[in-house]
Structure 1
Amino acid sequence: MSLDTVVEDIRDEARARAEDIRAEGETRAEEIVSAAEEDADDIEESAEREVEREIEQLREQRLSSAKLEAKQQRLEARRDVLGDVREAVEDELATLEGDDREDLTRELLDAASVEFEAGDDVSVYGRDEDADLLESILSDGEYADYEYAGSYDCLGGVVVESEGSRVRVNNTFDSVLEDVWEENLREISNRLFEQ
């Protein structure tokens, strides 16, 4: 074997080895590129899912916020309507005239009088505009120990008190309306806002 043959064999072996290394490198590079592409696809899919989740979450938050705002606006509108209805009732009571006003005032005075004993000096207060009406009612003999004592800021009705018994009864239209309103607010609301 000559030296040239040995050199040529070593060169062939080196070339074969280099070819094997290059083939292994290409295979390894392809594996790395393939793994990197799979990782990139996984990362992209994960990022898309995360973005979709965040979009859905944001959409739900905005929808929930919009529903809450709409509900608050509805409740505010209902409060306004109930306030208007209450105001209209108060106006009706304040402008009630004639026999209706007298009958209601007498009923409220009668209801208050059960709290007082015969012989008590009883003071009766009422709306300025009802002074003549109250004096007329008190002068008819049924209320001998009762005296009109002055004005009381109200829609009508009476406030009756006695120093001796230390009792004060508020039977004004306002107090009756307040009781009726509170007791029936749900029903009033249901009738106004039937759904």
Structure 2
Amino acid sequence: MSLDTVAEDIREEARARAEEIREEGEERAAEIIEEAESDAEEIHEEREADVEREVQQRREQAISSAKLEAKQSRLEARRDALEEVREEVETTLTDIDGDQRRELTAALLDEAAEEFDEGESVSVYGRADDQELLEDLLEDYDGFSVAGEYDCLGGVVVESEESRVRVNNTFDSILETVWEDNLTELSDRLFEQ
């Protein structure tokens, strides 16, 4: 074998080895590119899922917030409506006059008088516009006298220094009791759904 042949064989082996190395490099590069593309796709899908979750979460928060705001608006509207009804009732009570006012005031005074012993000095307070009515009604009660005005819709506040008893039989106190006892029923009637 000649030197040229040996050199040619070495070159051939070198070319073959170089081709083999190049093919391995290309395969490795293709694997790396494929892995990178796979990783990139995975990262893209994860990010897309994250964005979708965040969008869904914000949507749910916005819906929840809107529902809460709507509920608060409904409650506020109900409160306003109930307050309006209460004001109308108070106006109606204030506007009661004549025999009806006399009968109601007399009944409240009779009920309050039961709390006091005979012979006690009893002070009676009432609405400024009812002073004359109270003086007239008290003619039938011994030891009872009109002592002054009381800021109320009507009725009486009766008290005695001797027994330290005070009875609030005003339209306001009765309305408050009736209102509290029947608020749920009233609300249900007003806001039937």
| 1:110 aligned residue | 110
Gapped runs of 5+ residues in structure 2?
none
Aligned residue type for 1:191:
R
Aligned residue type for 1:167:
V
Deviations 1:24-75 (A, max 9, x none): 1111111111111111111111111111011001101111111111111111
Aligned residue type for 2:127:
R
- 1:15: how far off? 0.4
Work out the CA distance in 1 between the residues paired with 2:102 and 2:7.
137
What fraction of aligned residue pairs are identical, expressed as a percent?
A: 66
Aligned residue type for 2:109:
L
Deviations 1:56-111 (A, max 9, x none): 01101111111111111111111111111101100000111111111110111011
| 1:38 aligned residue | 38
1:181 to 164, 169, 179: 179
Work out the CA distance in 2 between the residues paired with 1:166 and 1:25.
108
Work out the CA distance in 1 between the residues paired with 2:18 and 2:46.
41
Question: TM-score normalized by structure 2?
Answer: 0.98
1:167 to 124, 145, 165: 165
| 1:152 aligned residue | 150
Q: Does 1:132 align with 2:132?
A: yes
Q: Does 1:100 align with 2:113?
A: no
- 1:144: how far off? 2.1
| 1:55 aligned residue | 55
Work out the CA distance in 2 between the residues paired with 1:166 and 1:23.
112
Aligned residue type for 2:134:
L
Work out the CA distance in 1 between the residues paired with 2:123 and 2:89.
28
Question: TM-score normalized by structure 1?
Answer: 0.97
Aligned residues: 193
Deviations 1:103-125 (A, max 9, x none): 11011101101100111111111
Work out the CA distance in 1 between the residues paired with 2:158 and 2:104.
15
| 1:13 aligned residue | 13
- 1:150: how far off? 1.4
Cα RMSD of the aligned pairs, angstroms, is: 0.8
Work out the CA distance in 2 between the residues paired with 1:22 and 1:121.
121
Work out the CA distance in 1 between the residues paired with 2:150 and 2:26.
104
| 1:27 aligned residue | 27
Work out the CA distance in 1 between the residues paired with 2:149 and 2:44.
82
SS in 1 for 2:80: helix
| 1:193 aligned residue | 191
4+ aligned runs moved over 3 Å, structure 1: none
- 1:148: how far off? 1.2
Aligned residue type for 1:27:
E
SS in 1 for 2:192: coil
Work out the CA distance in 1 between the residues paired with 2:9 and 2:163.
135
Work out the CA distance in 2 between the residues paired with 1:150 and 1:59.
63
